[in-house]
Amino acid sequence: MIQITLIQIDNYGPWTVTPGPRAEPDLQTLQSRLYGDLEREFGAHGGIVFFNRFDNLIAISNGMDYDDHKLIQDSIRNRYPITISMGVGSADTAYEAQKIATEMIQKGGGAQSASRCEVLNIDSLVDDDDSYVQIAHIDIDDVTGLLTDVETAFDTSIKVYEVLNALMVELSQIGGLCFFIGGDNYMAPSNNISDDILRDALERVDTKTGVRLKAGIGRSKTPAKAADMADIGLEDIRAGKVDDTVIIYDDRK
Amino acid sequence: MIQITLIQIDNYGPWTVTPGPRAEPDLQTLQSRLYGDLEREFGAHGGIVFFNRFDNLIAISNGMDYDDHKLIQDSIRNRYPITISMGVGSADTAYEAQKIATEMIQKGGGAQSASRCEVLNIDSLVDDDDSYVQIAHIDIDDVTGLLTDVETAFDTSIKVYEVLNALMVELSQIGGLCFFIGGDNYMAPSNNISDDILRDALERVDTKTGVRLKAGIGRSKTPAKAADMADIGLEDIRAGKVDDTVIIYDDRK
Amino acid sequence: MIQITLIQIDNYGPWTVTPGPRAEPDLQTLQSRLYGDLEREFGAHGGIVFFNRFDNLIAISNGMDYDDHKLIQDSIRNRYPITISMGVGSADTAYEAQKIATEMIQKGGGAQSASRCEVLNIDSLVDDDDSYVQIAHIDIDDVTGLLTDVETAFDTSIKVYEVLNALMVELSQIGGLCFFIGGDNYMAPSNNISDDILRDALERVDTKTGVRLKAGIGRSKTPAKAADMADIGLEDIRAGKVDDTVIIYDDRK
Amino acid sequence: MIQITLIQIDNYGPWTVTPGPRAEPDLQTLQSRLYGDLEREFGAHGGIVFFNRFDNLIAISNGMDYDDHKLIQDSIRNRYPITISMGVGSADTAYEAQKIATEMIQKGGGAQSASRCEVLNIDSLVDDDDSYVQIAHIDIDDVTGLLTDVETAFDTSIKVYEVLNALMVELSQIGGLCFFIGGDNYMAPSNNISDDILRDALERVDTKTGVRLKAGIGRSKTPAKAADMADIGLEDIRAGKVDDTVIIYDDRK
Ligand SMILES: Nc1nc2c(ncn2[C@@H]2O[C@H](COP(=O)(O)OP(=O)(O)OP(=O)(O)O)[C@@H](O)[C@H]2O)c(=O)[nH]1
Ligand SMILES: Nc1nc2c(ncn2[C@@H]2O[C@H](COP(=O)(O)OP(=O)(O)OP(=O)(O)O)[C@@H](O)[C@H]2O)c(=O)[nH]1
Ligand SMILES: Nc1nc2c(ncn2[C@@H]2O[C@H](COP(=O)(O)OP(=O)(O)OP(=O)(O)O)[C@@H](O)[C@H]2O)c(=O)[nH]1
Ligand SMILES: Nc1nc2c(ncn2[C@@H]2O[C@H](COP(=O)(O)OP(=O)(O)OP(=O)(O)O)[C@@H](O)[C@H]2O)c(=O)[nH]1
Ligand SMILES: [Ca+2]
Ligand SMILES: [Ca+2]
Ligand SMILES: [Ca+2]
Ligand SMILES: [Ca+2]
């Protein structure tokens, strides 16, 4: 089972324009610092956070309980001009788990409700013995040679975001999720998705966007370990240790 | 004329896997902290930075000279395990300016060249008297009611990133750029693009993606001021002060 | 037993002047950011860190094991231009525990040894069942009325640092430690020091420096909880709930 | 003339205990992050900030005007749960300038007044042509050999803070200031203090505390440049390029 936490800033839209619009560089600094801090807070417990939309961040939180989440919520309140609500859900697939987590947040009140403040709704936590996380670290072959060193920076970005969009749609249709992690790299929480199904999905994106994708897939009890396994898989593909575009490493045995 | 700085982390791909893959939560914290710091450094001089691909960031730097850039480059070297190279270009349109900035970086060596370190190539700086920045602050109508409070978090993200992709393609074809700034908000450096041409571009995206977009457009001598003007335009559209989906405010008179 | 971790930046002196002196504002930003990050990393496990000399930081780490420390060490390596070594010691008094922690660091090599890198020497960890932390939160009565609002800022600082110095000497002679935490506040890890002995020590400092000190004393299994207890004690003295300059709250029963 | 800005967090004491005491690790993270950010904001304009008491920070702000301070004040409001007030004063000596800056803050209301919020009182700014900053970078000879590598960490700190205290008293009596900048290093804004008078002051501290102090002294138009000059002086003393415990470098000619 995979456990996902949806982190939503309370009443952020109205706050950004009250009493008047706030300078955008300040909002960008606030949003990126909040993301960096949440990455540390979840990372200290073996979790991992993706920025998603910056006002709605998605974390994989296997192994973290109510108190772990509460400590983070309190710490953000003491250091930021905004507060955060969190919804936690567990399921067999990442898509399903984030669906439950979203419902937990929506149950606590709308994103712009002035009254909702620091909701912490947990549908269910994953038990230690059936805690299992699969993460695919997806990467474009030779983005440096094909794009970064030859095209304009923005044209390279258009292609990278086109691939991101295609991956988000493909993954969500097979129970997974996909997030941009910088450069030409994407991370896809993909519990219960076999390497074959994932390879097909990557190939469909290749066809649609004209790049060649590869992915290391990691399976472990905790999110950070799964990501580490996925990194190693990606390096082994790069090193030609395997003649495939996907490879799975599993440290749970 | 608009002045754009492309900021590229030196030899970042190899660094992320040397001596072995580095834990992803650490890379995400490093990348978001670097973005937040660069936003402060450029922001202190009235500039604004967009994270773009995190290893390649794009800033509007009207009014900033060689020494301003050098101070930032040295400060990052003293506080981060990586160094940054920068290319600076000026032109009538944002797309053209980033094209030149990219060439200045590529001229200094590839993104993965072990030898290139802290290049600072300036093609040309904008003179004070013809410094002019136009920024459109683009926003989806009622994302809260239509998506955030009703769909799952990831489905909302798919739509928001679909709109981002469509905007990036449309804007690049009319000489502009477009970046995601969180929530359902985008910022488009759009020098020399009239409100009519921009309104048409937004409507093409509406048709393609099924949302309704609005934009406040700001024109000023410095990037941060242009963004402030754009924010006010967006608020006035929201307040029904104008019956249009775009509005231009210009503080240069 | 109290468990203390000494965190020492590896070879920092030479690094600050190699290849040439680094701009002091950058070093101050680096040192304060490192302190803030280490506070989060230890804080996520219920610990607390004091900046001490910024290149040598002292943390109370009851409940944290080898892996917890290793994760922090790796994370700092991935995000900072410097690395850290750590020594861990446990004893009945805070002074004794930091003495052992210091020996663990010194055993690993000098503060300026080019070869010593990321030592992690643990003498002994505190077992859960005899984990006990006592922290006194010491505060000057009415610093605002006596100093901040009437004297020049620097004269107020001279008095506050004079009190700090006197407390450091007094506490170290009775097996404790004392650190500045901002404003007119100090925190003293003070295992095995009775309230009477502490009251006398505070009174000696009052006589020497001309201020009137009060302290809430917290006793708990973890450092952060002990600090919370101490805060409550301080508030209750302020509220006149007790007619004493020291008060002990203990949540271990 | 030297220009000094006193930065005071508005109503911080009450905020730290309202509605109840806030976890100390969070306050330490907030205070160190605020210091790091202010160092960047002032540093971007060639200034330098010292943490002083964390709730009252002291900056040398030669060359910075009302708008520069206002931008910083707004940015902190948009990103922190607290706001800051600032007082600015200029004078021939650092001690006198901070005295005026303090009066500007106190004029705006007490440190704990619920009503005072974001005061920005400027007594006078330094004109460009008589902008002059002298900073001494004071350092203890061989702290590594005498203390860090042989004594316990806390005993080394007692000696370093004893030296700090003595320097603060000595410098304030000759029109200067002195701040701790980590390790065994101190920085003393010391306009109008000759090298002879400074050498005598250091020798009095040597006698009182049993260490041997040396200092590079920098004179320039801006604070950061003066600090750079001071660093170079310190290195030249270390390298035996001069047989003295103080040396002055001046880049204004
Ligand atoms: N977040 C993250 N980004 C990475 C990682 N590895 C590489 N990157 C990013 O990817 C960019 C391109 O690096 P590579 O993918 O190694 O370059 P490439 O030219 O595509 O090389 P190949 O993928 O080996 O074909 C870098 O600038 C980084 O931004 C990683 O582990 N995590
Ligand atoms: N970066 C940035 N994000 C903003 C700004 N204003 C709003 N947002 C983001 O947009 C999200 C949605 O807020 P709104 O756009 O006000 O909500 P809405 O339901 O679409 O309301 P309308 O746009 O008024 O129809 C917020 O959670 C923020 O993340 C802004 O000025 N800058
Ligand atoms: N680190 C830390 N600093 C605090 C705390 N409480 C207050 N302070 C600091 O102490 C300064 C002065 O606040 P107070 O001690 O409440 O003010 P006071 O005038 O001395 O009031 P009394 O102590 O009630 O007599 C504030 O500006 C803060 O910097 C705390 O819990 N932690
Ligand atoms: N803030 C700051 N700290 C420094 C600087 N240089 C050294 N330090 C600190 O001083 C500590 C000791 O370094 P040194 O002063 O070089 O060591 P030392 O043994 O005293 O050597 P000498 O001073 O050369 O006799 C380091 O760990 C740093 O924390 C500097 O330029 N700025
Ligand atoms: Ca790649
Ligand atoms: Ca909207
Ligand atoms: Ca007090
Ligand atoms: Ca020294």
Between chain A and chain B, the number of residue pairs with CB atoms below 8 A apart is 222
Task: Tell me: pLDDT of C111 over 90.
Answer: no
Distance from the CA of A7 to the center of ligand 7, in angstroms? Answer: 37
CA distance A97 to A105: 13
Atom of ligand 2 nearest to the CA of A111: 27
Task: Tell me: pLDDT of A196 over 80.
Answer: yes
D104/D164 same-domain check: no
Q: Which residues of D touch A35 (CB under 8 A)?
A: none
CA distance A134 to A192: 8
How would you label B110-142 residue by residue, b for 16+ Cβ within 10 Å and e otherwise?
A: bbbbeebeebbbbbebbeeeebbbbbbbbbbee
Q: Looking at C111, C130, C149, which one is the last position of a domain?
A: C130
D76 CB less than 6 Å from ligand 4? no
C98/C138 same-domain check: no
D148/D119 same-domain check: no
CA distance D32 to C40: 11
Angle at Cα D47 formed by Cα D45 and Cα D52, nearest 5°?
A: 140
Contact predicate A21/B228, CB 8 Å = yes
Q: How confident is the model at residue A136 (pLDDT cuts 50, 70, 90)?
A: very high
pLDDT in tens, B65-118: 999 999 999 999 999 999 999 999 999 999 999 999 999 999 988 888 888 899
Task: Tell me: pLDDT of B26 over 80.
Answer: yes
Quote the minimal CA–CA distance from B29 to chain C in Å: 8
Q: Which residue, chain included where needed, has tokens 């805060």?
A: C231
Q: How confident is the model at residue A113 (pLDDT cuts 50, 70, 90)?
A: confident
Which ligand has the shortest distance to the CA of A143? Answer: 1
Q: Looking at B107, B130, B153, which one is the last position of a domain?
A: B130
CA distance B76 to D65: 26
Q: How far is CA C132 from the centre of its chain?
A: 16
B28/B7 same-domain check: yes
β-strand pairing of C179-182 with C185-189:
antiparallel
Domain that holds residue B188: 133-250
pLDDT in tens, D122-132: 999 999 999 99
Q: How confident is the model at residue B121 (pLDDT cuts 50, 70, 90)?
A: very high
Of A27, A79, A81, the CB nearest to D26: A79
Distance from the CA of D211 to the center of ligand 4, in angstroms? Answer: 14
Say yes or no for a CB contact (<8 Å) between A27 and B183. no
A101/A7 same-domain check: yes
Between chain A and chain D, the number of residue pairs with CB atoms below 8 A apart is 42
Say yes or no for a CB contact (<8 Å) between A71 and C45. no
Task: Tell me: pLDDT of D8 over 70.
Answer: yes
Instruction: Give the pLDDT of residue A253.
Output: 62
C110 CB less than 6 Å from ligand 4? no
Task: Tell me: pLDDT of A3 over 80.
Answer: yes
Q: Which residues contact residue B114 at a Cβ distance below 8 angstroms, ignoring those fewer than 6 apart?
A: B11, B14
Q: Is the dihedral of CA A147, A148, A150, A151 positive or negative?
A: positive
How would you label C82-105 residue by residue, b for 16+ Cβ within 10 Å and e otherwise?
A: bbbbbbbbbbebbbbbbbbbbbbb
Closest by alpha carbon to C42, among C50, C52, C54? C50
Instruction: Give the pLDDT of residue D253.
Output: 62
Please state at what angle helix B223-238 crosses helix A24-43, rounded to 10 degrees. Answer: 90
- Listing DSSP states for C176-196 in one string gives ---EEEETTEEEEE-TT--HH
D8/D64 same-domain check: yes
Contact predicate D153/C6, CB 8 Å = yes
Contact predicate D128/D187, CB 8 Å = no
Which ligand has the shortest distance to the CA of D237? Answer: 4
Q: Which residue, chain included where needed, has tokens 């206002």?
A: D70
Q: How confident is the model at residue C252 (pLDDT cuts 50, 70, 90)?
A: confident
Task: Tell me: pLDDT of B216 over 70.
Answer: yes
**Interface ipTM above 0.90:** yes
Residue ranges with strand state E in B74-225 = 84-91, 120-122, 133-140, 179-182, 185-189, 213-220
Separation in Å, CA D206 to CA C118, D3, D245: 34, 30, 11
Q: How confident is the model at residue C109 (pLDDT cuts 50, 70, 90)?
A: confident
The CATH number for B185's domain is 3.30.70.270
Q: Which residues of A touch C45 (CB under 8 A)?
A: 44
- Listing DSSP states for C26-82 in one string gives HHHHHHHHHHHHHHHHHHTTT-EEE-TTSSEEEEE-TT--HHHHHHHHHHHHHHSSS
CA distance A52 to A55: 8
At D135, the amino acid letter reads: I
> In a 3-state reduction of DSSP, which class is residue B57?
strand
Contact predicate D130/D209, CB 8 Å = no
Instruction: Give the pLDDT of residue A31.
Output: 98
Please count the residues of chain B.
253
Task: Kindly report the average pLDDT of chain B as a whole number.
Answer: 96
> What does the block give as tokens for B228?
């402030």
Residue D62 gets which letter from DSSP? T
Q: Give the DSSP H/E element, type plus range, for residue A138.
A: strand A133-140
Q: How far is CA B224 from the centre of its chain?
A: 12
Instruction: Tell me what the mean pLDDT of segment D148-168 comes to.
Output: 97
A72/A157 same-domain check: no
Closest by alpha carbon to B166, among D151, A35, A162, A148? A162
At C101, the amino acid letter reads: A
B124/B138 same-domain check: no
Say yes or no for a CB contact (<8 Å) between B25 and A48. yes
- Listing DSSP states for D63-99 in one string gives T--HHHHHHHHHHHHHHSSS-EEEEEEEESSHHHHHH
CB neighbours of residue B19 within 10 Å: 5
Judged on CB neighbours under 10 Å (0-12, 13-18, 19+), D56 is buried
The CATH number for C80's domain is 3.30.70.1230
CA dihedral B236→B240→B241→B242, nearest 10 degrees, is 100
Contact predicate B152/B87, CB 8 Å = no
What does the radius of gyration of chain B's CA atoms come to, in whole angstroms? 19
Contact predicate C184/C204, CB 8 Å = no
What number of helices (H) and strands (E) belong to chain A?
8, 10
pLDDT in tens, C159-168: 999 999 999 9
Q: How confident is the model at residue C114 (pLDDT cuts 50, 70, 90)?
A: confident
Task: Kindly report the average pLDDT of chain A as a whole number.
Answer: 96
> What does the block give as tokens for A178?
């996909």
> In a 3-state reduction of DSSP, which class is residue A9?
strand
Q: Which of C40, C65, C80 is the best substitution to test chain A (most A C-beta atoms within 10 A)?
A: C40
Instruction: Give the pLDDT of residue C6.
Output: 98
Instruction: Give the pLDDT of residue A24.
Output: 97
CA distance B224 to B230: 10
Contact predicate D65/D126, CB 8 Å = no
Task: Tell me: pLDDT of C253 over 80.
Answer: no
Atom of ligand 2 nearest to the CA of B238: 24
The total domain count for chain A is 2
Q: Give the DSSP H/E element, type plus range, for residue A48.
A: strand A48-50
The contact set of A with D (CB < 8 A) is 22-23, 25-27, 29-30, 33, 74-75, 77-81
Q: Which of C5, C24, C60, C236 is the best substitution to test chain D (most D C-beta atoms within 10 A)?
A: C24
Instruction: Tell me what the mean pLDDT of segment B146-150 comes to.
Output: 92
Q: Which residue, chain included where needed, has tokens 């060639």?
A: D46
For chain D, the straight-line distance linking the first and the last C-alpha, in angstroms and rounded, comes to 16
> What does the block give as tokens for D63?
């060359």
pLDDT in tens, C179-192: 999 999 999 999 99
B123/B168 same-domain check: no
Q: Which residue, chain included where needed, has tokens 């709109």?
A: B163
Distance from the CA of D164 to the center of ligand 4, in angstroms? Answer: 15
Q: Which residue, chain included where needed, has tokens 């003595």?
A: D166
Q: Which residues contact residue B39 at a Cβ distance below 8 angstroms, ignoring those fewer than 6 apart?
A: A25, A28, A29, A32, B48, B49
Contact predicate C72/C38, CB 8 Å = yes
A143/A81 same-domain check: no
Mutate to test the pocket of ligand 3, among C138, C149, C184, C235 (most ligand atoms within 8 A of CB): C184
Q: Looking at A130, A155, A173, which one is the last position of a domain?
A: A130
Task: Tell me: pLDDT of B253 over 80.
Answer: no
Instruction: Tell me what the mean pLDDT of segment B134-160 comes to.
Output: 96
What number of helices (H) and strands (E) belong to chain B?
8, 10
Q: Which residues of B touch A27 (CB under 8 A)?
A: 181-182
CA distance D193 to C234: 43
Q: Is D196 left (phi over 0), alpha (psi -120 to 50) or beta?
A: alpha
Instruction: Give the pLDDT of residue B109.
Output: 87
CA distance B26 to B28: 5
Task: Tell me: pLDDT of D68 over 90.
Answer: yes
Distance from the CA of A141 to the center of ligand 5, in angstroms? Answer: 5
Closest by alpha carbon to D34, among A119, C225, A37, C36? C36
Residue C144 gets which letter from DSSP? I
Closest by alpha carbon to A180, among A28, A35, A63? A35
B90/B55 same-domain check: yes
Say yes or no for a CB contact (<8 Å) between D71 and B44. yes
Instruction: Give the pLDDT of residue D71.
Output: 95
For D32-36, the CB contacts below 8 A with 24+ separation are D32/C32, D32/C33, D32/C35, D32/C36, D32/C39, D32/C51, D33/A79, D33/C32, D33/C33, D33/C36, D34/D9, D34/D76, D34/D80, D34/D82, D35/C28, D35/C32, D36/C28, D36/C29, D36/C32, D36/C33, D36/C36
Q: Which residues contact residue D166 at a Cβ distance below 8 angstroms, ignoring those fewer than 6 apart?
A: D204, D205, D208, D209
Peptide bond into D189 cis (omega under 30): no
Mutate to test the pocket of ligand 4, among D48, D143, D164, D235 (most ligand atoms within 8 A of CB): D143
Of D33, D112, D144, the CB nearest to C36: D33
Distance from the CA of B139 to the center of ligand 2, in angstroms? Answer: 7
B228 CB less than 6 Å from ligand 2? no
Quote the minimal CA–CA distance from B44 to chain D in Å: 6
B162 CB less than 6 Å from ligand 2? no
Of A37, A44, A75, the CB nearest to C45: A44
A101/A138 same-domain check: no
Give chains near D: 3+ CB pairs under 8 A: A, B, C
Instruction: Give the pLDDT of residue B166.
Output: 98
At A233, the amino acid letter reads: G
The contact set of A with C (CB < 8 A) is 37, 40-41, 43-45, 71, 75
pLDDT in tens, B164-215: 999 999 999 999 999 999 999 999 999 999 999 999 999 999 999 999 999 9
